[in-house]
Structure 1
């Protein structure tokens, strides 16, 4: 009977809880380790002597000790003259061994292998992973994972409810994630595939299999599908750290492996296959992260040689090489040069280091230099929106070849004076090309002065200056004058120098532009880039503390006795005695568990560095709440005192933009937006451009990008004096206000200063409410005129139509049924704004938004163009973007010197093909476009004649488009959205046709040939 009493299972108790990091690649590096370090099989089990014996043992359900003996044999067994075990070399027998290990051994022994990995260093798990660490092993795991997914999705499996499927899914997925860990995995797989003496006809398919397996994204899709299938069946706990399902982490891992593979001393001919893998990886998503990883590993590390990156780049197709090179320039600009601003003398080593990096990456490659010439002179190139540092670095690299410099100078000058370019290109783009022209002229003058002299005597130069001076835009004329004076100062002497004697050219900006001709950067060492990369602090992983639990105060026990306090009816003199108020109960102090009572509550931050510290602490509810509630007042209070805000403005803004509502804080979005508004109001010239750049370049969601637009619109109106923030009064220092008791004594309850507790949050549709009010003001006179033409004078009908219009257009944000009513009043005259504020809104808010939108549309060849265009043309985001531009134009007002330029930019943007295509069938985009015309017509009410002269063709085209919109809307639903949009289209059409009829003669030239 003893043979029948066998144990059904063996339970092993492991005391350690920490999950080990299995680095099986270390085994391959230690090829020559001593035999006593290898795992020894149990003496009671006969070890295999050949691969056939090992396969036979594995097929017949071996016990654990026999399995370890087989894995140890597979680890040691190498053919004669081979540097890798037999199981890693491609052969039919090794494929069968891998298949048995994945399909039979792993599901049965995985838990036991994980438990034993805590006790021994050379465990069975390490041996198993090493045996499967090849492209054959990865493909076998993928095939098994695909079969399990199909079984889990089948209808028969859904009826039977097999619990083992999800368990096996989790096991194979965990195996796959552990199997490909390590930065040298691809290098080991490549060496194993090419280690045999087979000819190229057999080696090439093996290498191509590695490229296909890891470059087509199958690992990502299979891992994500397996995780989704397991979660759909309610088995979330069976899935561990599934990093393969994250494309960002996978691309970074692939970048590190490609760098390790390229830097291993491969022959140039062998690098072609790696370049093919690089091309495939670029299309997996997150190409910037991939290129950044390769730059960090191959170029920006100490004692590394950039020739490896040069070799990798040289084998790419020309189109991919161009995209990668442009992305490299963008990364250098964002990571190292943009923070230098206008690049003073202290910035020269960093610029020289970037030029040195470009020299190491490209060298004397003609194709690469041709791509750089295109980047410098193309209509959408030259680092649009980036600082001047990247342009200086590229010009320093190009200065090694005189022919390239002359080519850049001639193309830049020809483009600078082109009339269509001056009229239609964004001003941000024209500024970048003007900087390129000045830098190129300085380099050419130092190398061949006669060439610059001949160029300034040509008709191209004379036409360029003439066209610039005749431009309708003030900024275009300023650039023409600056370039003319700077280049003439290089060639002409004495009285022959060109001088316009304008105040703008002699100010700081004009002097800075003219000083670009004297800039002479050189190619330097990469040490500044390496040092700046090493100074970046790495975030530390911290355990998230628990959110404080608030419990109600304990109630006293009911004893059955009632204690009643009797009053003795004190006299009137006792009324003057004011008793102390009872202290508020602290629910945290009344906690049952004394260990949970918190005595060290955080205090509100009083310095900007403390505010940043609180915002970074995303695991603390108290810090996040205190930072959000105090940020608007603290930033406004510190704006005019010291340099705290100016030094940390970008860091604060980036933290607030990317902050997520992890703890579901009350009024989270409103407080976050108010904090960003405070930053913009504190430093508008700098932060307006930063937020405009972040909207297009940042890796943010649609809601976060929408909040950036809301911040720009509201802060611009506050700067223009059209809106008043309650936080401005709350942020005033106590020295500027009376004490609270004195304020009540002298001012009573009608104090103009409100405490911070009375501040009201922003409604979620703040910009929409402002747009609605402006639309109502625009439509009111037209409604009154229509009523007068139909039934009588305005004095009898204005009140009725105004109240009806207000009822239709304006409603309470909290209750749409509650209508606001307003008294009839004449249209208020727009207040004239000081020129400095109008200039600020034009250059720091409006122009960057317009220029970057046009640049995003023109850069169709960029690596992230598809994602960028998808986000930009999202209906909600596009409508909000157009409304923001209209509000910025309205906030600048009619007294803006740059109003003609702003009007032309916005008018052409509303008529662009991309915007009108998105407006088809989408009422929100149509309404936003019509509101843009409302703002244009309202601000340009007194200069409609100039608009018809400058934008005659655009005005006629706008009339045709609005008429088509009006005719295509049915309306009829009183108070509905379509009815409101049709009424708005009618009003815009009436105003446009009034201008066309009044200035018909001016438009005759533009009407000829219009179709």
Structure 2
């Protein structure tokens, strides 16, 4: 009876072994807590279904595969991972990994790790989260197993590339790169590993959580991929993966792998390296080269004890071979190597000489590149070793080019500047370079010899021997067998056998065979059958006494900017120099708005023109050179006006060259403002924009002189002293309206002082508009567009004025700037620029304040100052320049004298007192000397300031308080 009262027990259903044939049935079985045997059957179906019962592929993204992967990662792996690992049958765990080793599977694993981290973090560290931490550790182990192996990334992409539906490939390509090269695998693994460690779960360090080990894995994957694949698309993806991986950090690991696994492993792999790196983005190509140089230096070349530069080192020759492979077919990498050798922070600063020897030798087969290295090294003298090494190669390739360079101003300036500095090391290097290069070019009895004790030392001999170094690309075997210093530990590095072939020495090179010139006697008898031609017209070249000097193959005028640059650089060719100077002003202006020739080469043009020397005493040399520089600034004012201002203060130029820079800034600024227009402006138009001369005369009339004056233009060539001419014209414009007013308005002693001033001024202005006292008739200022005025203020005036204060803090620059003639020209330039900007300039108050403060700051260099001698003519020129700049400043602000008194009241009063004192102590006469001009300008400025003070006394009262 008791048994009858017991409830009936339902039998437990033991799931049968899975025997389904579709992925839908497999998903249903996985959701229902499958048994071990069922799981193995499901995994077998999912893994091998494409070959047996269905065409479903777990690795292809889709709704069904996403559901299956989610169940496998979140339910099956936490429950069965330990069982599968302990199983003796490796095929079971391999089947699970095969189902998840895909982009969807790895992403699902990472997403589950992220969700577990979010769930664990807020919970207290007790038993309630032990299950979550255990699951997190298991999922981490799954991730490591999915990525284990150098070829896994390649195999994952192979499946993506093989998809029949090409629309999936592009988005999956970006997902592939984002997965492996974004750093999220490392960041999530590191965070999860830290949580497990804090929870007391002892786990071994995971390589996926270590950025260095992960980069190493990516590097192995990349090199294996590059070795096995030659398809263009595969190499592009592999290159993009490597380029992105370099941005994760520790890029040297990737480059070291490329070096050891590709460059040093047979010809096929060398070709794969070139193809792979050529597909990198340009910045990453440069990064690969720089890291390769660093690795070669650290691993192999720094350990060389280079006491004899002429000695041959197999390791250096092998390094040359490596670099030659990198740059051989890549203009970009060749340019990167040139930049590395010539940049101030490059060329392996702090490293041994071996890396510089290898880098320079790698460029030796490329004539243009090695010449560029030498020219830039001469220009900046940053790396003496690079300079000497490149000079040796250039001497062997093109000895005449080295001879020309040693006669150039850049070389002479570089050596002289080194000898003038106070640092003994710099002087030593300057002497070593000078003697070494002279020894290559000049004969033994005429070569440079400083006869200093420093030049007889072992170090000096080492530097001078660098010009005889002749490394070349050798076999790469020494880099394979040499043990890098980081791996050497206590073991000795095996000694490398020295090669028996000697480096070529200039003195040992056999003379080149040339043409044999044979003199043949001509018969005095003439053939009577030949009718002689009439004598040609006289040629000025035929007047040369020596007929061998007549040049019948004269160069044509340059029509491209690159040809013009080549002509300017050829300082040994008279005809090219003459043509270049005559053509430059017109060619630069004509090309300025057509194409990109001028934009691409404008700085090279400016540098060549500034440093050009009158070697052949050409006619009108200085004017043509100035006009060429003016054309450069007018063509690109926003870029080149600040460039010339910087060059004036920072460049390594003489006083005359600096003066020419100031003249160029003044002339080009006024031309842009529409004042003095160069004669080359009209001739620079293309023929398509002008009418034929006969038709032009019928339709167009030449503007009259009055119209040109009204337009503010003057179509004529400006002489080298053009700024002085413009300054004189500006002073007359400023003083002329006050001549008649001064004679009538002033009485007493002041009238006696100003009488001669008015009479002389009226005589100098008689060519103008008569004796009328109307100030408007003499006005030289006209409004220009705001954009043009802003151009002059922003790119001409302010760069030139602001750098003055910076130069004051440098003793060397101060010595140059305060040279009287240069200082006077500098102040005149600023005055002409503010005058050219005109009253419509929005920045006129700022320009006025900056210029006025600067003028008052240099009063110590003027007449009557306690710091200078009053008879010094140089200081008289500075005085005249300050007064001229003040005149321009007051003239351009004439329409706003009240605002000037409000903003610059103290300067107005201080200047009036200083100019009045200057007027009293300056001797005047009836002559036309500079001191008379100073007295006239001082009188005019004094009158203008007194008018302002009398009219706006109330405005100035606040500034007058406390003024003494």
Report the TM-score, using the length of structure 2 for normalisation: 0.48
Q: Which has the higher contact order (CA 8 A, sep 6+)?
A: 1
Say which one has the larger Rg: 2
